[in-house]
Amino acid sequence: MSRSLPYRLECPEKCLQTQDDALNSTFFILRQTGPTAFVIKEDDERIYKVFIMDRILMIYIYHIN
């Protein structure tokens, strides 16, 4: 079975910008709800639930408030 689209050799600009934004922000871990699940808070008081899955390194982020 062949791929319909080739693998990407470089990260798209939007992805690079999102990574840069994440590296330049501050998050606080409020609670660890499991070995790979956390409740975090951003500088602007937004709270998120984060789940890190190990299958293909999937990260789910849910906005709580």
pLDDT in tens, the chain (65 residues): 677 888 878 888 988 898 898 889 888 999 998 888 889 898 888 888 888 876 656 666 767 76
Residue 7, in any domain of the structure: no
pLDDT at 21: 87
Q: 54 is written with which tokens?
A: 């190990």
pLDDT at 7: 80
Residue 49, in any domain of the structure: yes
Residue 29, in any domain of the structure: yes
What is the torsional sign of CA 10, 14, 17, 19?
A: negative
What is the torsional sign of CA 28, 11, 57, 63?
A: positive
Residue 48, in any domain of the structure: yes
pLDDT at 30: 92
Q: How many CB atoms lie within 10 A of CB 59?
A: 9
Residue 2, in any domain of the structure: no
Residue 51, in any domain of the structure: yes
pLDDT at 47: 87
pLDDT at 56: 58
Q: Which residues pair with 61 in a beta bridge?
A: 50
Report the number of distinct structural domains present in the chain.
1
